[in-house]
Amino acid sequence: MSDRNQPISGNDLARFSGPNTFMRLPQANGLDDLDVAILGVPMDIGTSWRSGTRFGPKQIRSESAMIRPYNLQTGAAPFDSLQVADIGDLAINTFSLSESIRIISESYDQILSHDVIPVALGGDHSITLPILRAIARKHGPVALVHVDAHADVNDEMFGMRETHGTVFRRAWEEGLIIPEKVYQIGLRGTGYAATDFTEAQGWGFQMFLAPELWHKSLSNLGAEIRRDIGDRPAYVTYDIDSLDPAYAPGTGTPEIGGLTTPQALELIRALRGLNIVGCDLVEVSPPYDPSGNTALTAANLVYELLCVLPGVSYR
Ligand code: MN
Ligand code: MN
């Protein structure tokens, strides 16, 4: 057994008890000696349709109590080699989106002053812009694997430039990402104009629309993206609405005809070897998730992301 932090076993303490940390890992107050810091960003004031993602981190943590440490299917044993802890939630200002965005960015600067990989539980997708600002201050422009039903490249929403639908246009404008190393996977649905997607393709973004991916394994696509990114620092942002609402109904802006849970697993598992410097899982809205399946799926996808971080050992 590793001397690193371990999730509490369901054979030692009933799964329905214990701390509400991710996988019932220890809660850490400091970042010294951590390889991976899991944190919540409980915010939904950047959304345009249904709210509720402020409850996302709490519910993802709750459903994560079911997950066991060893990945039987890939052989990954993340807690053998990585020191992982839950560092709690960021103290966002629920009355101010702009103030929350500033708080997230400054909090990430502080987190990234340590040699740690931050894994964020959202929260709506607007959290990813301030995260990328801090990530780029540390690592320079990064490659971006963006799994989503939506491209999130609007210019403004109600005159607001920082919302969950404008993140990746701002990230492109601000030079936070390497445009030709941006991969948007699972896009679909209705739009406002035929140019909704083509403009960002002109910046260099590579788009993989859901209908092109229907009925196919995503293992090859994931492996091609991993090779194309090479050793560059990469950020993975996972919007749960990339999945079909049949799998993930509990989200703010659902779109039919989405990816399946097996496709999500194939995609993430194929990213093994990528130089991931941070990731997030966003847009889980528990009030629209009566079965808990969306949060359960999100918790497992976060676990799968842990399983492909740099330095994970395999048995
Ligand atoms: Mn999104
Ligand atoms: Mn989306």
Mean pLDDT by 10 residues, the chain (315 residues): 91 97 96 97 97 98 98 98 98 98 98 98 98 98 98 96 97 98 97 91 98 98 98 98 98 98 98 98 98 98 98 96
Q: Quick one: pLDDT at residue 1?
A: 59
Q: Which ligand is nearest to the CA of 122?
A: 1
pTM summary value: 0.98
Output the CA–CA distances (angstroms, integers) from residue 107 to 13, 89, 92, 130, 297, in the order listed: 33, 11, 10, 10, 27
Q: Quick one: pLDDT at residue 194?
A: 86
Q: Which ligand is nearest to the CA of 252?
A: 2
From the CA of 168, how far away is ligand 1's center (Å)? Answer: 9
From the CA of 55, how far away is ligand 2's center (Å)? Answer: 17
- Consecutive H or E run containing 280: strand 276-282
From the CA of 223, how far away is ligand 2's center (Å)? Answer: 23
Q: Quick one: pLDDT at residue 162?
A: 97
Structural domains of the chain sorted by starting position, each given as residue range(s) with its CATH number in brackets = 22-314 (3.40.800.10)
From the CA of 122, how far away is ligand 1's center (Å)? Answer: 11
- The DSSP bridge pattern shows strands 234-239 and 276-282 to be parallel
